[in-house]
Amino acid sequence: MEKIQGNVPSVLVHDKDSAKKRTKKKFNVEHLLLGSIIPAFLIIAWEIFSRLGVFPSYMLPSPSVVLGTIIGLGQDGTLAGHIGITTYRVFAGFILGTIAAVILGSFVGFYQKAERLLDPMIQAFRSIPSLAWVPLFILWMGIGETSKITMISVGVFFPVYLNIISGIIGVDRKLIEVGSINGLNAFQLVRRIILPASLPSFLTGLRSGLGLGWMFVVAAELMGASQGLGYLLVLGQNTLSPETILASIILFAAIGKLSDWLLKIIETRALHWQDRVAKL
Amino acid sequence: MSLELRNVGRVFNGIPAVTDVSFSAKPGEIIGLLGTSGCGKSTLLRAISGLDNEYDGEISINGKTSKMIHRETGFIFQEPRLFPWLTVLGNVTFGLTGEKQEKEQLGKQYLEKVGLSGNEKLYPKQLSGGMAQRVAIARALVTSPEILLLDEPFSALDAFTKMQLQDLLLSIWKAYQTTIVLVTHDIDEATYLCDRIIILRGQPGEITKEIKLEEKRPRARGSKQLAEIKTEILKSLDLNKAVDLTTV
Ligand SMILES: Nc1ncnc2c1ncn2[C@@H]1O[C@H](COP(=O)(O)OP(=O)(O)OP(=O)(O)O)[C@@H](O)[C@H]1O
Ligand SMILES: [Mg+2]
């Protein structure tokens, strides 16, 4: 079911990885234990070496210090604000990008004229690395929320758009014929056959898009922000405190994973009818 | 509903698949299309249904000539073509309109007729090939179409189920006086069900023979008359010669 992915390789790898896990649902607990042996070992080793003074603490603070930093941020009440604003930006950008992708993608997928008219242009835009837009967006919209959210939605747009189109184009002609013989009109064909049939591809697009959203929020917040996890990165750099940077990285990883996990649950629920093993 | 084909042919990318097929069916008649693989039987059915409208010649239904899809036609395809996201019951009731409860009740009735009651909630991925085909058969019959086009509907089924479903088809024909065009490879099936058997041969496919069966239904399977007709069909298909032609 992996069709067109975003143009960023990390997203592709990520998705394949989760597809692999799907087949091993039964061994989930065993899987989890097995998968955490090496990380646990590394963290313990890191802690020990830091305490022994092998890693200088101004370069690589120990895991307990990083954890302490996160707890400290939580206690002085700023953590929730940082997480909240970053999540809000990703969420808003994700929604906007998805809406744009659904509208343009369905147009281009359904109408050949729209495809000829719009698709070459969108494909040309796609070949521009999306981060290259940043200076222009800042110039146009300042460094406020608007430019950040716009940037994130640009990142989300492409994987969702491409997957919608490939989903619509890939609908089995034989199923559409069953609809036609049952007297469905164009609108009913879309609602009853094309939409459900292209749902798997759309959801793949959403997950890729969300991954890119998290990547773009880092870039957007690095450009200038007074709050957010990306701001913590800059703050850590400027105040020479690697524990703040590491705390931010860990929070990014955790929230990113959590949001992907939520989408994955939605995906599994919505696509329970799929004959997965045969498709993998 | 009556059906008439006048000089129907179909060319795919410059290569003719069938040429010059003409026949007509009175309302309530059962026509069998018999022929070797690749002689254009599915192509003809698609043309009649209106799914394909790039054929030559004319096809009229109830005297009206049109290349549009006719609302009252039902089609059982060579493959089940179930919607994977719908349950068995959802698939069967797909073509029905009206209240949900009524639709489901009717759907259940037909599932029982094809021997699948109790499987309403399964998804297509959980079905065997024969079960899937029976769901597809129920889906086409449940709308009680006036013209029924069947493309080897029973070929994926075991002999016993096959006979049951042939009788189901006949009971539906009896109740609704459905005009049926049945493509089949099974000569016994054709002689058991059809009023007329049209034999196609060659590449491009052409009508080589038309056999009329006067015997009233229900017919006795394996009766002498049917056996005689079977011999006649085998002769006109001239299978030995056909094999020679393909091996040369
Ligand atoms: N969409 C298509 N494009 C090109 N050629 C086609 C197409 N559909 C059918 N044909 C050709 O038309 C011929 C008849 O095909 P058709 O499917 O009607 O055969 P058939 O009589 O139904 O065979 P079978 O008994 O194996 O189902 C074949 O030679 C096939 O290659
Ligand atoms: Mg065929």
Q: Would you kindly state where each structural domain of chain A is located, as residue ranges? A: 1-55, 63-270
Q: pLDDT band for position A118 (50/70/90)?
A: confident
Nearest CA to ligand 1 atom 2: B12
Pairing mode, if any, of strands B30-35 and B179-184?
Answer: parallel
What is residue A143's predicted lDDT score, i.e. its pLDDT?
Answer: 82
Element (H, E) at B131: helix B129-141
B94 touches chain A (CB under 8 A): yes
> Hey, is the C-beta of A183 within 8 angstroms of any chain B C-beta?
yes
pLDDT digits (tens, 9 = 90+) for A84-107: 999 999 999 999 999 999 999 988
Which residues in chain A have Cβ-Cβ distances shorter than 8 Å to B125? 273-275, 278
The stretches in chain B having pLDDT less than 70 are 239-248
- What is the pLDDT confidence band of residue A27, given thresholds at 50, 70 and 90? low
Section A244-264 average pLDDT: 93
Over residues A107-117, the mean pLDDT reads 86
- Please tell me the CATH superfamily of domain A63-270, with its number: MetI-like (1.10.3720.10)
Using a CB–CB cutoff of 8 Å, tell me whether B49 touches chain A.
Answer: yes
- Can you give the length of chain B in residues? 248
Mean pLDDT of chain A: 85
**pLDDT beyond 90 at A171:** yes
| CATH number belonging to the domain at B3-247, selected among 3.40.50.300, 3.40.366.10, 3.40.1190.20, 1.10.4190.10 | 3.40.50.300
Asked if residue A9 has pLDDT above 90, the reply is no
> CB–CB of B94 and A178 under 8 A?
yes
Q: What is the pLDDT of residue A10?
A: 36
Q: Are A137 and A162 in contact (CB under 8 A)?
A: no
Q: Mind giving me the DSSP string for chain A? A: ---SPPS-HHHHHHHHHHHHHHHTGGGHHHHHHHHHHHHHHHHHHHHHHHHHTSS-TTTS--HHHHHHHHHHHHHTTHHHHHHHHHHHHHHHHHHHHHHHHHHHHHHHHH-HHHHHHHHHHHHHHHTS-GGGGHHHHHHHHTTSHHHHHHHHHHHHHHHHHHHHHHHHHTS-HHHHHHHHHTT--HHHHIIIIIHHHHHHHHHHHHHHHHHHHHHHHHHHHHHS-SSSHHHHHHHHHHTT-HHHHHHHHHHHHHHHHHHHHHHHHHHHHHTTTS-HHHH-
Residue B83 beta carbon below 6 angstroms from any ligand 1 atom: no
| pLDDT (0 to 100) of residue A26 | 54
Confidence of residue A14 (pLDDT cuts 50, 70, 90): very low
pTM: 0.81
Of B34, B37, B43, best ligand 1 pocket probe by most atoms within 8 Å of the beta carbon: B43
Q: What is the pLDDT of residues B142-190, one digit of tens each?
A: 998 999 999 999 998 899 889 989 998 998 899 889 999 999 989 999 9
